[in-house]
A and B are shown apart, each in its own frame.
Chain A
Amino acid sequence: MFKVFLPLILVPVIACTAITLTTHRCQRAEITYVSGPEPETLDPALLTGALEGRIVAALFEGLTQYHPKDLSPTPGIAREWRVSEDGLVYTFFLRESCWSNEEPLTAHDFVYSWKRTLLPETAADYAYQLYYIKNARAFNEGKIEDFSQVGVCALDDYTLEVELERPTAFFLDLTSFPTLLPVDRKCIERYGEDWTKPGNMVSNGPFRLVEWRINDKLRMVKNPYYWDADQVRLQSVAALSIESINTGFNLYETGGADYLFGLPLPIVQVLKGRNDFHTDIYLATYFYRFNVTRKPFDDPRVRKAFAMAIDKGEIVNYVTRGGEVPAKTLVPPGMPHYQPPLGVPFDPEEARRLLAEAGYPAGKGFPKVELLFNTSEANKDIAEVVQQMWKKHLGVEVTLVNQEWKVFLSTVKNLDYQIARGNWIGDYVDPNTFLDMFVTEGGNNRTGWSNPRYDHLIEMAASEIVTRKRMDIFQEAEKILVEDELPILPIYYHVSFNIYRPYVKGVYPNILNVHPWKYMWIEREES
């Protein structure tokens, strides 16, 4: 009996093992970096997270691209452009380039991609990045059905004309942003939602996607059909999906990864002197969102009390410890010409008074509150400290709930939380990138908060040309956000951490922490 059975069992087992070993054994990528949690999506129109943006930026290229050193918009797919004198009409002259399947990329692809982003059924959270284009907002909100009224039009195969609602200083920064990247119509129509899978995906950037294993890694290789392929020196890049930053760091230390974008908090101090540790100011803010549609946070006094009961100095000194700065406003320092409002101070006494005024003296009768964050050691550490501060200063018990990245994003989107961790990285260097997300029904608002005066100010700022006045309007708007209403609770301004091996070259520090793989290379010293 065994004589028959043994081969019957053993043969498939050996075969499976052999297949696994041969198919999964591929050469290591030239640069392997730790990307973070499993990416939510790789669809440029739908993504909202920074880690997804980093991958997509390697796979696609927009009309413009960031200059690696000073972040200024440099020619991408657009070889050059002309701006009309009133600043309203941009004419982009596209170069003859092609997709990763050798099909030509034309101005019509941009029209298609932007239309797709704006279509209400696409439900892109970031659609408002296109609202600067004439009638784009009305189309996205379903007020007009005819896309030809929207200010995007292909004059011929290689000329794209864009008409704006009003002069927008940072429009050329936006054209390199993920939401405005071109996507391939044929690919999307053929594969539907599966178009972002390796093998299906057609892209136009320096790299193309060849492998995507859930909760393991993504592998990108150089795209030979990229117009600027001569400049691309890396042959392959791998992004590891690792939720735990400690695991990521251990992997780096043992040689399993070459590049890290973050660090476990307890060791930042220790690493500060090392030559592979690079830190810089960063246009990014760590904050908490309040769900203002539900009790008890529908009351601004309660929100203000919660904000005033947090000693942010303690958090940056003892928890994050990387040189972060306590935040009283959403817009980080370093915005040229911008003078932020004061925000609310740490004042436990006033906080208790406000809470009592709202009907909860010394936290009595306060409903059960949950603080939600996406699973990570750093978020948990901060949440535990904040939990304790609220208990100590307000007498309020808060439970901590952590969720995996994708689940977390959808919970927050659906307003199915009370307090949730938020994080915002500037998309361009202008206060608008922080402030416009909290307009009524904004795709990244996610607090349910709405204030007509605020909406009006953001709109006013958009059409104001004089910088001084514009910045004053922003200040007034932010005052509503962080002093009067507080749908959010800013905690600290990030600093960026880049940890990479000395043989990784071509990394330039900048405040958006944008480091395109396109410009990097590997240079190992001969030994």
Chain B
Amino acid sequence: MDKRGYLRRFLKNKPAAAGGGFILFIGLIILLTPLIAPYSYEEQCLEDQYQGPSPHHWMGTDSKGRDLITRVMYGGRISLAVGLAGTAVSLLIGVTYGSVAGFLGGKIDNTMMRIVDTLYGLPFMFLVILLMTVVGRSIYVLFIALGAVQWLTMARIVRGQIIMLKEREFVEAARALGASKPRIIIHHLIPNILGPVVVYATLTVPAVMLEEAFLSFLGLGVQPPASSWGSLAADGMTVISPVKTYWWLVVFPGATLATTLFSLNFLGDGLRDALEPHSNY
């Protein structure tokens, strides 16, 4: 099927198309944030604290009088950056690991996959928290830590695909021509498994973002005055009480996070249906 066929099938899937559109929209806003943000994300103006949504502050202001929409925009940069960087790390590890295991097969494969099984059994959030405490709380540690716990499923998928492909004729041909093992993996196998890898990567982004939100919610993620959607929601939680609720501080960051995660998941599903009509993992 040609490329336009993929596109048509993808666009026919309404939630996926809407999700993709929303992600594009968010992406655009986030790219342009420094230009279009109405206020500074860290400048406090205590006189204006706890103002509800108004024409001046579309999403209201927080306890320090900072404009919430600005903080949501900047928070999105961090949340998405964490999502993308974490996914990139998981791709790098997962694809390498999975393709080596799948291609070499036998005892090596067996050992490598049993290691993956063991790691699956570990409480991964605990590992991330441990890593953050030992190495220190920086955004880069967060990228690596989250990616480092997300590669397991990727490795399994890649291994399965590689095993399926490695007995095919074009691999046989490459081998007959004297190509080395790394060359076969990199030039012949990996390009052919891109479909499922892309699909799964799209689904990893929201997973990593959610984990970052979770960590920030616990106070372990990004540190103030920087914000991510998770830390904004956590801040919002502190002003919910039975007697007084500044609702906008929870609703806007929470809704943005939820919509983005939904969109990414729809997008991932749509891509899978479009690229891999026969698979259902």
Chain A interface (Cβ within 8 Å of chain B)?
Answer: 246, 249-250, 253-254, 264, 266-267, 270-271, 314, 317-319, 375, 377, 380-381, 383-385, 387-388, 391, 399-402
Contact = CB atoms under 8 A, between A and B. Distances in A.
Given A266-B63, A384-B64, A387-B224, A246 B46 contact: no
Contacts of A318: 46-47, 49, 65
Contacts of B240: 246
B192 interface: no
A254 B243 CA distance: 11
B50 A266 contact: yes
Given A266-B244, A384-B64, 11 more contacts: A246-B240, A246-B241, A249-B241, A249-B242, A266-B63, A270-B243, A375-B219, A381-B63, A388-B42, A400-B224, A401-B137
26 contacts: A246-B240, A250-B241, A250-B242, A264-B238, A266-B238, A266-B241, A267-B243, A270-B243, A318-B46, A318-B47, A375-B219, A377-B238, A381-B64, A383-B224, A384-B64, A384-B224, A384-B225, A385-B44, A385-B46, A385-B64, A387-B224, A388-B42, A388-B64, A388-B225, A399-B223, A400-B224
Interface in B161-181: none
A500 to B, nearest CB: 16
B217 interface: no
B239 interface: yes
Given A384-B225, A385-B44, A388-B44, A266 B64 contact: no
Given A384-B224, A388-B225, A253 B46 contact: no
B243 A387 contact: no
Contacts of A246: 237-238, 240-241
Contact of B242 (A253, A317, A384, A400): A253
A267 B241 contact: yes
B246 A266 contact: yes
Contacts of B42: 388, 391
Nearest to B218: A375
B223 A400 contact: yes
Contacts of A314: 46
B224 A253 contact: no
Interface SS majority for chain A: helix
Contacts of B63: 266, 319, 381
Contacts of B46: 314, 317-319, 385
Given A246-B238, A388-B64, A267 B225 contact: no
Contacts of B44: 384-385, 388
A246 B240 CA distance: 8
B219 A402 contact: yes
A26 to B, nearest CB: 27
Nearest to B246: A266
A273 B223 CA distance: 36
Nearest to B49: A318
A380 B224 contact: yes
Most buried by B among A266, A385, A400: A266
Most buried by B among A267, A318, A383: A318
B103 to A, nearest CB: 38
A246 B42 CA distance: 24
Contacts of A388: 42-44, 64, 225
B49 to A, nearest CB: 6
B6 to A, nearest CB: 46
Nearest to A253: B242
Interface string B39-79: 00011101101100000000000011100000000000000
A401 B49 CA distance: 24
B84 to A, nearest CB: 24
The 4 A-B residue pairs whose C-beta atoms are closest, nearest first, are A318-B46, A253-B242, A270-B244, A377-B238
B234 to A, nearest CB: 10
Contacts of A401: 137, 223
A366 to B, nearest CB: 17
Nearest to A378: B238
A316 to B, nearest CB: 11
B98 to A, nearest CB: 34
B207 to A, nearest CB: 26
A314 B48 CA distance: 12
A183 B245 CA distance: 47
A462 B137 CA distance: 46
A254 B42 CA distance: 35
